[in-house]
Amino acid sequence: MNQEPVPLVELAFRNMDASPAVEDRVHARIAKLAQFHDHLMACRVVIESRHRHHHKGNLYHVRIDLTIPGGELVVNREPGEHQAHEDVYVAVRDAFDAMTRQLQDAVRKQRGKVKYHETPPHGHIREIAPGADYGVIETSDGREIRFSSKSVVDYDFAKLEVGDQVRFTEVDSDDGPAASTVHVEGKHHIVG
């Protein structure tokens, strides 16, 4: 069997101690993702405990950002009412199962088409309204893309400034084009 290359991996734990066993599980699941796509570029996984108490009663939130040629796939698994997410391993499993489905869908769409490595859309912050929880990105071709604080990855929304350079993933929303993920370029202030 041909082993696929594993992408650049970033793993962060928030409000909980790092766990080598959970890290091993995450790396094994990323290796399985690599079996579905030949060119995984990067995978960012954040595992967060919503309550910093003893292990019993914690709810876990898992976010996965997977970069592939031509785009980015995002899974943002909120624990909600699911008691199963009191177990970090179940939360990780569910998030990676959802990512596997997204990746398989992306591969099906790409099959039969020649894809070139596209640069994610770029722009700069044109407007920021922390009190109203939104901002506007102006793209190089003059379009306006709205985003909210939940779209900003690894940066404090309240610290964004007009003019900050960003790259983003664009999606359609009821209000027009929006950014599902916004990465601030040149600033590496991970929010914890």
Q: Are 77 and 95 spatial neighbours (Cβ–Cβ below 8 Å)? A: yes
pLDDT computed for residue 93 by the predictor = 92
The domains located in the chain, with CATH, are: 8-110 (3.30.160.100), 122-184 (2.40.50.140)
Q: What is the CA radius of gyration of the chain?
A: 17
pLDDT computed for residue 187 by the predictor = 63
How confident is the prediction for the chain on average, in pLDDT?
81
pLDDT computed for residue 92 by the predictor = 92
pLDDT band at 186 (very low <50, low <70, confident <90, very high): confident
First-to-last CA distance in the chain? 40
pLDDT digits (tens, 9 = 90+) for 109-160: 777 554 455 677 889 999 998 888 889 999 888 889 999 888 888 888 888 9
pLDDT digits (tens, 9 = 90+) for 53-80: 544 567 888 999 999 887 889 998 665 5
Residues 65 and 158: their CA atoms lie apart, in Å, by 22
pLDDT computed for residue 130 by the predictor = 82
CB-hemisphere CA count at 13 Å for 9? 15
Residues 80 and 72: their CA atoms lie apart, in Å, by 24
Mean pLDDT on 185-190:
63
Is the per-residue pLDDT at 81 higher than 70?
no
Is the per-residue pLDDT at 192 higher than 60?
no
pLDDT computed for residue 137 by the predictor = 93
Percent above pLDDT 90 for the chain: 31
Mean pLDDT on 2-21:
79
Q: Are 6 and 30 spatial neighbours (Cβ–Cβ below 8 Å)? A: yes
pLDDT band at 1 (very low <50, low <70, confident <90, very high): very low
pLDDT digits (tens, 9 = 90+) for 168-182: 888 877 778 888 889
Is the per-residue pLDDT at 188 higher than 60?
no
